[in-house]
Amino acid sequence: MIASLRGWLNRRRLPARHALLDRLLVNQALSRRELLDRRATELAALVAHAGANVPYYAARLDAGVKAAAARGRVDIEDLPVLTKDAVRDHLDDLLARDADRVQARIGHTGGSTGQPLAFWYDDAKHELMRAGMMRGYMMSGWRPGQKILNFWGARQDVVAGGVFGRQFGAGLGDFIAAERTIPAWEYSAANLHAWTRFIQRYRPTLLQGYASALTEVARFALAERVAMPTSLIGVYSTAEVLDDSQRELMRRAFGCRVFNQYGSREVPNIAWECRRGHMHVCADLVWLESRHVDGEDRLLVTSLTNRQMPFIRYDIGDSGRLLDGECDCGSPFPLMEMGMCRRNDLIRAGDGKRIHPSYFNRLLYGWTRVRQYQWVQRAPDRIDLNLVVDAPPPPADIDALARRIREDIDPGMHLRVRYLDDIPRTLSGKHRFVIGLPS
């Protein structure tokens, strides 16, 4: 009852966002064919716009592509890939000439590799991002007006004017928005205690946050036997790789389903997990491609909605695959699967082969006293395992681990185990499980 009142108030306060949500929801009723046809039309319109109004693309798209865009059909593979370096080097040239320069603001992302990247955004992009997030949450059964609690690691967002605005404190705005944010970059016992108590009091419908932050909260709740409220129907993990052991821990602690979501600040709402456990690509908002390069399935994403700063075939630095077939949840959106790795997360062996991070993540299955871990390659024949533990594992286990790495990867690989109080995060507060040598 209160939730529906909140939903109504929220709709009155944020009419633009809700109008966008309504439009996005309609797209879920399209057939796959209609969705993909529309995607092709949107791409051509985007490319025509970029070729005419965005200096970076005006200079780089050839005449044939511009002509094809004007005719309403573009082959995406004819378009150049946009690298992060190009975004860094040509930020001003990527802002459309017809963009409102008073409205245009600079956003920042730390990126999974810790390299900061700046991008343009405006209110329209922000509202569409939030509407897309609402639609994504609705895949869990959540409805507008029901409470969401965010655990967020990026400091810049948890301030007035940031992505999530105010934190903790309850004003009328917070009541209506039904959303609170906990700045979660310091996992002390005192903080974890306060956060779990807050979840109990606030009784949210959804939790949302970095996989590593939610894992810490889950681990604390289980260890301290803090009962989580039955109001919870879903936990949304974002921004970091979510592994199976984290998923299971959260499911046990919070007593509800765990959903993955995929997007970035510069291109939000790329894919959302449905109740059947499948990742659906938001094909009305993005065109996602996967290219097999150097043994890796590299994702390229095109934002179909961003005219202010077009991202076309943007090499986002994540890996994953597109999947054929339909999901019986009824969504027409195509399916994908996230890769475990991001670009710099590959460990290189002496003979040139590269090892996927999921191999290293699996090595520690069953090491239940480990709170956090991180594999860091220091040299072609040296790898560190950084551990934050309740109690160190027996030496025999470490020896077995070192032996297995020598057998599986490289007979000359040396393993060093380091015990730390905490594992430092990237600039944006993300945890990386595996860090390879710089490429």
Stretch that binds Zn ion, among 102-110, 273-281, 283-291, 430-438 (CB under 5 A): 273-281
Instruction: Report the residue number, 273 or 315, with the smaller CB distance to Zn ion.
Output: 273
Token readout for 315 is 């090499």
Nearest one of 293, 275, 14, 48 to 128, comparing CA atoms:
14
Instruction: Report the residue number, 92 or 324, with the smaller CB distance to Zn ion.
Output: 324
Contact between 274 and Zn ion (CB under 5 A)?
Answer: yes
Instruction: Report the residue number, 272 or 311, with the smaller CB distance to Zn ion.
Output: 272
Q: Least Å distance between CB 337 and Zn ion?
A: 13
Q: Least Å distance between CB 36 and Zn ion?
A: 17
Stretch that binds Zn ion, among 49-57, 278-286, 295-303, 374-382 (CB under 5 A): 278-286
Instruction: Report the residue number, 329 or 420, with the smaller CB distance to Zn ion.
Output: 329
Judge whether 237 and 250 are in contact, CB under 8 Å. Answer: yes
Torsion of CA 126, 94, 39, 25, to 10 degrees: 0
Q: Least Å distance between CB 281 and Zn ion?
A: 11
Contact between 278 and Zn ion (CB under 5 A)?
Answer: yes
Judge whether 26 and 35 are in contact, CB under 8 Å. Answer: no
Contact between 281 and Zn ion (CB under 5 A)?
Answer: no
Torsion sign over Cα 416, 417, 422, 426: positive
C-alpha distances in Å from residue 242, one per residue of 176, 258, 302 = 31, 10, 23
Token readout for 236 is 């949304």
Instruction: Report the residue number, 2 or 329, with the smaller CB distance to Zn ion.
Output: 329
Q: Least Å distance between CB 328 and Zn ion?
A: 7
> CA 35 to CA 136: how far, in whole Å?
17
Instruction: Report the residue number, 282 or 387, with the smaller CB distance to Zn ion.
Output: 282
Nearest one of 124, 100, 68 to 306, comparing CA atoms:
124
Instruction: Report the residue number, 130 or 278, with the smaller CB distance to Zn ion.
Output: 278
Among 87, 232, 250, 327, which residue sits at the site for Zn ion (rule: CB under 5 A)? 327
Q: Which residues 328-347 are close enough to bind Zn ion by CB under 5 A?
A: 329, 331
Q: Least Å distance between CB 286 and Zn ion?
A: 17
Instruction: Give the count of residues interacting with Zn ion (CB under 5 A).
Output: 6
Among 276, 292, 369, 378, which residue sits at the site for Zn ion (rule: CB under 5 A)? 276
Q: Which residues 101-130 are close enough to bind Zn ion by CB under 5 A?
A: none
Q: Least Å distance between CB 331 and Zn ion?
A: 5
Stretch that binds Zn ion, among 18-26, 241-249, 272-280, 303-311 (CB under 5 A): 272-280
Q: Least Å distance between CB 403 and Zn ion?
A: 42
> CA 116 to CA 156: how far, in whole Å?
13
Torsion of CA 209, 212, 213, 215, to 10 degrees: 100
Judge whether 16 and 127 are in contact, CB under 8 Å. Answer: yes
Nearest one of 347, 355, 356, 372 to 438, comparing CA atoms:
347
Which residues lie across from 290 on neighbouring strands? Answer: 299
Contact between 257 and Zn ion (CB under 5 A)?
Answer: no
Stretch that binds Zn ion, among 23-31, 324-332, 350-358, 380-388 (CB under 5 A): 324-332
Q: Least Å distance between CB 139 and Zn ion?
A: 8
Judge whether 219 and 247 are in contact, CB under 8 Å. Answer: no
Q: Least Å distance between CB 158 and Zn ion?
A: 31
C-alpha distances in Å from residue 339, one per residue of 290, 298, 345 = 11, 9, 11
Nearest one of 328, 209, 259, 285 to 25, comparing CA atoms:
285
Instruction: Report the residue number, 257 or 278, with the smaller CB distance to Zn ion.
Output: 278
What is the number of residues in the chain?
439
> CA 219 to CA 251: how far, in whole Å?
11
Stretch that binds Zn ion, among 119-127, 209-217, 249-257, 269-277 (CB under 5 A): 269-277
Q: Which residues 127-186 are close enough to bind Zn ion by CB under 5 A?
A: none
> CA 55 to CA 80: how far, in whole Å?
14
Instruction: Report the residue number, 118 or 329, with the smaller CB distance to Zn ion.
Output: 329
Judge whether 381 and 413 are in contact, CB under 8 Å. Answer: yes
Instruction: Report the residue number, 137 or 311, with the smaller CB distance to Zn ion.
Output: 137
Q: Least Å distance between CB 49 and Zn ion?
A: 32
Contact between 282 and Zn ion (CB under 5 A)?
Answer: no
Instruction: Report the residue number, 331 or 426, with the smaller CB distance to Zn ion.
Output: 331
Nearest one of 227, 237, 139 to 184, comparing CA atoms:
237
Chain positions contacting Zn ion, by CB under 5 A: 274, 276, 278, 327, 329, 331
